[in-house]
């Protein structure tokens, strides 16, 4: 643990920056960005869990795809955190903090079948999509077009992954189900 006795910036605080966003507006935007940051990391860890535990005939394709999803979520989270800092805020950090601020509930620790896992991921993506759309509208209303653009780019990636998960969950497959005795 650090022995530093003074705090340079307190979590939850917002300071003025050269970007010229009024502090009241910046507070709202930082809160929105931190919500989406928290959601991205909660889903990131859930996706990584599924990436590590997927089994079966379609293992390799699903495993590789989930690795790509995790990378995209982490990259998006980094952009959100950097924007929150740039407009004067303090980005959230830490697993418990993310879970407390995310609009999604993390899946339990148990390992489920890949279909159930992907259904849980798709549900989480749906919540994140709604949240990001609300935050895009907020950024537009507050006149922060750069934050709006960052959120739009992230939303596009999130929607693409949700769409792909829908395809994975369709019932058409080359894999033949065997009867369990």
- 28 versus 175: which is more confidently predicted? 28
- CATH class of the domain at 23-168: mainly alpha
Domain edges within the chain: 23-168
The pLDDT of residue 176:
60
Model confidence at 1, in pLDDT bands (50, 70, 90)?
Answer: low
**Which segment of 7-21, 51-65, 157-171 scores lowest on mean pLDDT?**
7-21
SS3 category, 114: helix
The pLDDT of residue 181:
47
The pLDDT of residue 11:
80
Residue 52, exposed/middle/buried by CB under 10 A (0-12, 13-18, 19+)?
exposed
Nearest 5 degrees, angle CA 110-CA 116-CA 119?
A: 125
Q: Give pLDDT tens digits for 131-140.
A: 999 999 999 9
The pLDDT of residue 78:
98
SS3 category, 113: coil
pLDDT above 50: residue 127:
yes
The H or E element that residue 112 is part of is none
Model confidence at 178, in pLDDT bands (50, 70, 90)?
Answer: low
Largest pairwise CA distance in the chain? 68
pLDDT above 90: residue 177:
no
Q: Give pLDDT tens digits for 79-116.
A: 999 999 999 999 999 999 999 999 999 999 999 999 99
Residue 10, exposed/middle/buried by CB under 10 A (0-12, 13-18, 19+)?
exposed
Q: Give pLDDT tens digits for 15-62.
A: 777 788 999 999 999 999 999 999 999 999 999 999 999 998 889 999
């Amino acid at each position: 643990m650090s022995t530093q006795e003074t705090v340079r910036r307190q979590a939850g605080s917002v300071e003025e920056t050269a970007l010229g966003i009024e502090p009241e507006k910046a507070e709202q935007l930082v809160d929105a960005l931190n919500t989406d940051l928290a959601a991205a990391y909660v889903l990131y860890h859930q996706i990584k869990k599924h990436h590590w535990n997927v089994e079966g005939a379609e293992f390799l394709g699903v495993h590789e795809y989930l690795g790509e999803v995790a990378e995209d979520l982490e990259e998006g989270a980094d952009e959100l955190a950097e924007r929150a800092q740039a407009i004067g805020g303090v980005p959230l950090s830490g697993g418990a903090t993310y879970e407390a601020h995310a609009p999604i509930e993390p899946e339990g620790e148990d390992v489920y079948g890949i279909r159930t896992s992907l259904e849980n991921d798709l549900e989480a993506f749906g919540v994140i999509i709604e949240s990001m759309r609300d935050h895009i509208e907020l950024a537009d209303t507050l006149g922060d077009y750069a934050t709006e653009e960052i959120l739009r780019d992230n939303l596009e990636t999130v929607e693409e992954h949700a769409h792909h998960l829908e395809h994975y969950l369709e019932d058409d497959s080359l894999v033949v189900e065997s009867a369990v005795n």
